[in-house]
Amino acid sequence: MRKTNSTDRAAQRRKLQQAAPPRRGARAPRPRQETPYHHGALRDALLEAAERVLERDGLAGLTLRAVAREAGVSHAAPTHHFGDLTGLLSELAAVGFRRFNAAMVAAAAAGTTPAAKAMARARAYVAYAEANPGMYGLMFRTERLDYSRPSLHEAAEASFAGLAGAIGASRHEQISDHALTLEQAAAIARAWSLVHGFTMLLLDGRLADMLERSPAGTTADMLLDAMLKVTITRGQDA
C-alpha cells in the first residue's frame, strides 16, 4: 500500500475543515453587500453612473444593468426609479440640457452687446459638446427620448427659449418661443443649424482636413469665430 504524500494529506485536511461545523463564536463569511444609498441619493447616483457609462462606452453600452453595476446596486434599482431605459435616458438628457443651458447663460452674461452675447453663447454651445460628447449626442437623439416627461420637456423648452431670446436680442425685437413669424423661425433655424452643424462636424473629426488647408495656426475656435462674425453681421444688417 503506497504512502500518502504531503499533497494528499493537505487535500484531506481541507476536506475535513470544509465538512466540520463552524466553531462556536466563529463568524460566518459576510455576503457581498450593495452600496447603501438614501432613496433620493440613489436616483442621483444612478444618473451619475449612467453618465459615466455613456461617456465611456457610448449609447450602445448604456443599459439598465450596466448602470446598476456602475453604481454598485441591484439590477432592479434603475427600473424602480426610471421605469425603463427610455425613462433613464430621458432623465439623463434633462440633466444634460440643464447644464447646457446654464453654460450658455453664464457665457452670455459676460457679453456687453447683443453680438458679443450671441457669440459667447455659440462658443459655450460648442465647448459643452466637446467636453461632453456622449451627453450632447444623447440630448439630440429624439427617437430614444420621451419628451412627455416633465423634466426633459422643461429643460428642452428652456434651451429653445434661450436661443429664441438671443436671436430676438440680435434682431432688436421680442420673440415669443410659443408663436413665431416665418422670418423669426428662419432666423432661429439659421443660427441653430450653423452652430449645431459646426459642432457635429467638429465631433466627427470632419473639420481636420479643412483646418489643415487653412492658414498655419488656424484652430476650430478661430474658424467658428469667423463664421459667427459673418453671420451676426449679416443678421444685424437685415
Write the DSSP symbol of residue 149: S
Rounded (10°) CA dihedral 227, 232, 235, 237: -110
Q: What cell was used for 59? A: 449609447
Average pLDDT over residues 81-89: 97
Q: What is the pLDDT of residues 191-215, one digit of tens each?
A: 999 999 999 999 999 999 999 999 9
In the predicted structure, residue 68 carries a pLDDT above the cut 90: yes
**pLDDT score for 53:** 98
State how far the Cα of 153 lies from the Cα of 105, in Å rounded to an integer: 19
CA triple 139-144-132, angle to 5 deg = 30
Q: What cell was used for 49? A: 453612473
Buried b / exposed e along 60-98 (16+ C-beta atoms within 10 A)? eebebebbbebbebeeebbeebbeebebbbbbbbbbbbb
CA triple 9-12-14, angle to 5 deg = 115
Q: What is the pLDDT of residues 164-193, one digit of tens each?
A: 999 999 888 999 878 999 999 999 999 999
* Contact predicate 169/114, CB 8 Å: yes
From 142, 55, 156, select the one nearest 101 (Cα to Cα). Answer: 156
> Taking the chain, what is the end-to-end CA distance rounded to the nearest angstrom?
106
Could you count the other beta carbons within 10 Å of the beta carbon of residue 123? Answer: 19
**pLDDT score for 11:** 55
Q: What is the pLDDT of residues 139-162, one digit of tens each?
A: 999 999 999 999 999 999 999 999
Average pLDDT over residues 108-116: 91
H/E segment holding residue 7: helix 6-19
Average of per-residue pLDDT values in the chain: 86
Q: What is the CA radius of gyration of the chain?
A: 28
**pLDDT score for 9:** 57
Q: What is the pLDDT of residues 10-28, one digit of tens each?
A: 555 555 555 555 555 545 4
